[in-house]
A and B are shown apart, each in its own frame.
Chain A
Amino acid sequence: MKKRLAFAMPALLMLCACAQQRVVLLPAPDGKVGAVEVSSATGHQRVDTAYGGVAVSQQGQISSFTTDPASVERQYGALLAARPPRPVSFIVHFQSGSSTEFTPDSAAVVQQILQELGRRAAPELIVTGYTDAVGTDDLNDHLSLQRAQTVVEFLSHHGIAASQMQAVGRGKRDPAVQTANAVAEQANRRVEVTIR
């Protein structure tokens, strides 16, 4: 009788584990940790620590747990390995006062871009133009897109298919250097090439 119970217990525990759903929070490669808010029919739990998690029963009951890198790797290693490679970005700067002439180091940037493209399956290039804070939003959206299109054309002359590239104008949003409005700033007149 005792023996039979001992057999039955693990089976029951496994059943419970199967019916549960889990969420595990991971740190970013730079160590930063965000948060997830998990809600069920009966509860709510915020997870905001690295390797923190929650298990949720079919009835919606939420319980917290903490795991560790080795356990995550053991259980979810294949899943994490299937994540697409993270995007990488390169900056192209323009010659002072020009929207068509690049700085001399741009040739080296093109080489780096070509190398990165060779390392990836089905790479896409998102070419994003930015402006400084001089002028209206509409004008800067337009100007930044023009800058991006100039770089797309430049890259297409270096053998990158135009169909792989998308030009985006982000205007005066996300400045590299924070300035007050209407301030001219060379560092913000730039184009970012993101490969993903």
Chain B
Amino acid sequence: MLEDRVSHASLYTVTGLIAGVAMTLLCAATAHAESAGMVKTLKGQANIARAGQILPAQIGDPVMEGDQISTGADSSIGITLRDDTMLAAGAHSALLIKRFAFNPTTHDGQLDSSVKRGTLAVISGKIAKTHPDAVQFSTNSITLGVRGTEFIIDAGDGP
């Protein structure tokens, strides 16, 4: 009787684990499929590096978490993220969208982005309004906390 109960318990545990893993995979897949934002402005040449591929950016293209965006000489790109954060990268710039999550119902989320080189103009969005501590920008030598605002980061020529 006791053995029976134990085996039942472990069966539930295993079923629960499988369901949990399946849910996690499903969530991961959904989160991956959902874009972080969209390319809105473009001048000259800008590329998006994603999963080992380099794609030339076009207006209307999705921007995903993990994307590395780079611009050429005399070029720029403007991106609006799903929480209405607006980004613009200037010429000879490299920008990484390290982490982006946003729940449009609750405005919970996270934004972590780094400027490897060049310039970035930022107009902060809804995550910064609701959860300022969940928004971070960085370069190789500084990190910025954002308190609902507009600013420029000039990372120079990079390392």
Q: Does A64 contact B (CB under 8 A)?
A: no
Contact indicator B150/A166 (Cβ below 8 Å): no
A170 to B151, CA, bound (A): 29
Kindly state the separation between the CA atoms of A173 and B141 in the bound complex, as whole angstroms: 38
Give, as a whole number of angstroms, the nearest-CB distance from B118 to chain A: 9
* Contact assessment for B155 and A121 in the assembled complex, using a CB-CB cutoff below 8 Å: no
Taking the complex as formed, is A39 at the interface, i.e. its CB lies under 8 A from any CB of chain B?
yes
Interface bin, chain B: 35 or more
**In the complex the two chains form, what is the Cα distance from A124 to B60 in whole Å?**
10
Contact B77 A82 (CB under 8 A): yes
A contact residues around B29 at 8 Å (CB): none
Q: A47's closest neighbor in chain B, by CB? A: B151
B residues near A85, Cβ cutoff 8 Å: 40
Kindly state whether residue A11 has any CB partner on chain B within 8 Å: no
The segment from B10-18, B20-28, B83-91 that touches chain A is B83-91
Task: Report yes or no: B40 in contact with A84, Cβ–Cβ below 8 A.
Answer: yes
Q: Which residues of B contact A78 (CB under 8 A)?
A: 76, 90-91
Contacts of A82 in B (CB 8 A): 41, 43, 76-78, 88-90, 121
- Give bound CA distance, A122 to B87, whole Å: 15
CB of B105 within 8 A of CB of A171, answer yes
State which residues 73-131 of A face B: CB under 8 Å: 76, 78-87, 121-122, 124, 126, 128
A58 in complex: contacting residue of B119, B141, B145, CB < 8 Å: B141
A70 at the B interface (CB under 8 A): no
Q: 1/0 contact trace for B109-151 toward A, CB 8 Å? A: 0000000000111011000000000000001011111111111
Asked if A26 contacts B60 (CB within 8 A), the reply is no
How far is it, in angstroms, between the C-alpha of A124 and the C-alpha of B83 when the chains are bound? 12
Report A159-196 residues with CB < 8 Å from chain B CB: 166, 168-171, 173, 194, 196
Chain A residue total in the interface (Cβ 8 A): 52
Residue among B89, B105, B141, B147 making CB contact with A56, cutoff 8 Å = B141
Chain B nearest Cβ from A177, distance in angstroms: 20
Looking at the assembled complex, report how far the CB atom of A35 sits from the nearest CB atom of chain B, in whole angstroms. 4
Closest CB-CB distance, A56 to chain B, in whole Å?
Answer: 5
Is there contact, CB below 8 Å, between B141 and A25?
Answer: no
A16-64 at interface with B (beta carbon < 8 Å): 18-28, 33-41, 47-48, 56, 58, 60
Give the nearest-CB partner of A145 in chain B.
B105
Task: Determine whether the beta carbon of B91 is less than 8 Å from that of A37.
Answer: no
Nearest Cβ in chain A — how far from B133, in angstroms? 10
Contact status A79-B152, CB under 8 Å: yes
B88 to chain A, nearest CB (A): 4
The CA of A37 and the CA of B90, in the complex, are separated in Å by 22
Contact A40 B141 (CB under 8 A): yes
Query: Cα distance A24–B151 when bound, in Å?
Result: 5
Closest to A17 in B: B156
**CA of A81 to CA of B77, assembled, Å:** 10
24 sample A-B contacts, Cβ–Cβ < 8 Å, listed by A number? A22-B154, A23-B153, A23-B154, A25-B151, A26-B151, A28-B123, A28-B150, A34-B147, A36-B146, A38-B142, A56-B141, A72-B152, A76-B119, A79-B120, A79-B121, A82-B89, A83-B41, A83-B88, A83-B123, A84-B87, A86-B86, A121-B60, A122-B59, A166-B104
